[in-house]
Every structure is written in C-alpha cells, then in structure tokens.
C-alpha cells in the first residue's frame, strides 16, 4: 500500500450562496479503506459525488488513478464503482435480472450468481429488491458497485440503520472487497465503525477537514494532549452484551 489513487486538492463546492465544501485536500492510497467521517451536513456526500463525477465542483483539482476529473470524467467512470440510486432497481425484476441489466449498461459480461455469491445473496436471486431486509439491500447495492470490476468503490453510509449483526456482516464484506485489491472510500457517522474498519480517516466538519490520520494515531494524538476519559473503560459495552446474547449470525432470513 503506497501509491496515491485519488488526489483531492483545495476542493470547493458552493450551492448558490452556501459553501458546503470549503477547500479540502486529501489523498487516498491504493488498497486502503479510507473513511470520510463527520456529522450530517458536513459535506461528505457532496465530496464523494464530485469524485464520482456525479456532481460539479466549484473549484479545486481531483485526480483519480492519474486521470484528471475535468479532462477524463468518462475514463474515471469506467474504473470506479458507485452505488446506484435504489430508484433504478426496477420493482418487477429479480436480483439476478437486475444484475444482468446493469451489466449490460456497463457492457460487462457478468455471471449474476457468482456476484450474488460474493455478497452472500445466492438464495435471494429470485427475490425482488423490496423483499430484502436492510442488510441484504445494502449487500445487493454493494454488489452492483462491483459489476464493472472497479479499482475503487464508493460507499455512502452503507451501514446507517442496520442492526449490529448486519453491520458486522457488512464490515466483513467490505474488508473482503478490499483484500481482493479494490480501494474503498466509505462515509459514516459511526465512529466505532470507522475505528475498526478504516485504515485512515478524514474528519470533516462544516466543509473543512479538521483531522486526517489512522484512527490509532488520532487516538494517540488525543491521549498525548493529556485527555482522559472521565470513567475507567469497561472491558465490554452494551453492544458486546447484545451480540454475546443474540449471536453473530444474521437474522434477516426470517423476515
């Protein structure tokens, strides 16, 4: 892991008079899981969508795998995987049919069952999207990002609203995708998730990057300032209790 695959320099985005992104710069390294963290409205989705070529920037420079965003948006589209709007999931089609349809749009020859296998949805091949649980919907959505065999995938809050088992299951899937050589950019406002999943994170607040490092280093930096938690940390938390009692297995098959 070392080569820079995405470079963002001094990126600004205004919506009318409102400045949503105010001069941010960061690099993403090939093969890492890079997190954009921040509260709602911080500018995470705006930043992602600009890199994905889906939104116009106001100013700044973006390079993806050596391709300049202004000069080569179509070449960039070919090497990135983007979660499609769920409105594109035609309600009458089954999951395997949707994959064939999307593969056709990308001009890719894909075995839908192999792709569904990858995200643990083989047994749902003949289900419709609306019949899936929240976790299954996210897994399917992630599968669609992989259709064009991208170098980089973009995941915007993939675990929001999921239960603890489904979140962990998705973390495993995201790690697997990364382990197969795909760079992952993910947004989240769950700090526990970023801490275990991301190699490096940028914390965005009101359109500014206020910190950028590995979770470990950011924590060490805070501790070095003399920061201490008010209480001694227990060896487990309530989520550990919940997982311990209910098990790691996914329950979504029941719905």
Closer to Mg ion by Cβ: residue 50 or 99: 50
Residue reference for tokens 């919506």: 15
Query: 149 near 173, Cβ under 8 Å?
Result: no
Query: 11 near 36, Cβ under 8 Å?
Result: no
User: What are the φ and ψ backbone dihedral angles of 30, each rounded to 5 degrees?
Assistant: -60, 130
Q: Is 159 in the site for Mg ion (CB under 5 A)?
A: no
Within 102-141, the residues that bind Mg ion by CB under 5 A are: none
Q: Is 19 in the site for ligand ADP (CB under 6 A)?
A: no
Given 10, 15, 104, 222, the residue binding ligand ADP (CB under 6 A): 15
Q: Is 44 in the site for ligand ADP (CB under 6 A)?
A: yes
Q: Is 188 in the site for ligand ADP (CB under 6 A)?
A: no
**CA neighbor of 8 nearest in space, from 56, 90, 64, 55:** 64
Residue 142 neighbours by CB under 8 Å, 6+ apart: 83, 119, 153, 155, 158, 170, 173, 174, 177
User: What CA–CA distance (Å, rounded) separates 167 from 170?
Assistant: 5
- With CB under 5 to 8 Å by kind, the binding choice for 20 among ligand ADP, Mg ion, none is ligand ADP
Stretch that binds ligand ADP, among 42-50, 77-85, 95-103, 109-117 (CB under 6 A): 42-50
Q: Is 46 in the site for Mg ion (CB under 5 A)?
A: no
| Residue 83 Cα distances to 52, 59, 66, 140, 196, angstroms | 10, 25, 22, 10, 22
Given 5, 11, 45, 76, the residue binding Mg ion (CB under 5 A): 45
Stretch that binds ligand ADP, among 43-51, 101-109, 111-119, 225-233 (CB under 6 A): 43-51
Residue 124: strand, helix, or coil: helix
Given 2, 40, 85, 225, the residue binding ligand ADP (CB under 6 A): 40
Q: Is 141 in the site for ligand ADP (CB under 6 A)?
A: no
- With CB under 5 to 8 Å by kind, the binding choice for 87 among ligand ADP, Mg ion, none is none
Stretch that binds Mg ion, among 45-53, 71-79, 132-140, 174-182 (CB under 5 A): 45-53
């Amino acid at each position: 892991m070392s080569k820079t695959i995405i470079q963002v320099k001094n990126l600004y985005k205004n919506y009318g008079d409102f400045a949503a992104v105010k001069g941010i710069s960061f690099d993403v390294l090939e093969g890492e899981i890079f997190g954009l963290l921040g509260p709602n409205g911080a500018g995470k989705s705006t930043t992602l969508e600009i890199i994905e070529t889906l939104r116009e920037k106001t100013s700044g420079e973006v390079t993806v795998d050596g391709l300049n965003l202004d000069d080569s948006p179509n070449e960039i589209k070919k090497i990135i995987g983007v979660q499609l709007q769920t409105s594109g999931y035609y309600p009458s089609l089954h999951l395997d049919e949707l994959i064939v349809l999307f593969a056709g749009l990308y001009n890719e020859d894909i075995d839908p069952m192999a792709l569904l296998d990858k995200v643990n949805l083989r047994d749902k091949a003949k289900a419709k999207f609306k019949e899936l649980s929240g976790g299954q919907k996210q897994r399917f959505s992630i599968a669609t990002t992989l259709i064009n065999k991208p170098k980089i995938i973009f995941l915007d809050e993939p675990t929001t609203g999921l239960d603890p088992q489904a979140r962990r299951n998705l973390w495993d899937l995201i790690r697997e995708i990364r382990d197969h050589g795909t760079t992952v950019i993910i947004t989240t406002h769950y700090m526990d998730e970023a801490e275990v999943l991301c190699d490096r994170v940028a914390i965005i607040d009101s359109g500014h990057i206020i910190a950028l490092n590995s979770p470990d280093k950011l924590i060490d930096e805070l501790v070095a300032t003399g920061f201490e938690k008010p209480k001694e940390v227990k060896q487990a938390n309530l989520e550990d209790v919940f997982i311990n009692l209910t098990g790691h297995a996914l329950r979504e098959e029941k719905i």
